[in-house]
Amino acid sequence: MEIDETSYRKGHNCITVVVNHETNTVIRATKGHGKSVLQKFCEQLPPEQRSSIKTVSGDGVRWITDCVKAYFPNAEC
DSSP states along 32-67:
S-SHHHHHHHHHHS-HHHHHH--B-B----HHHHHH
11 has pLDDT over 80: no
Report phi then psi at 38, rounded to 5. Answer: -70, -35
User: Is position 17 within any domain?
Assistant: yes
51 has pLDDT over 80: yes
Range name among 6-15, 39-48, 53-62, 65-74 with the lowest pLDDT average: 6-15
Count of domains observed in the chain: 1
pLDDT digits (tens, 9 = 90+) for 19-42: 998 999 999 999 999 999 999 999
User: Is position 77 within any domain?
Assistant: no
The domain in which residue 21 lies consists of 2-71
User: Is position 76 within any domain?
Assistant: no
pTM: 0.84
User: Is position 64 within any domain?
Assistant: yes
User: Is position 14 within any domain?
Assistant: yes
Q: Distance (Å, rounded) from C-alpha 13 to C-alpha 77?
A: 26
9 has pLDDT over 80: no
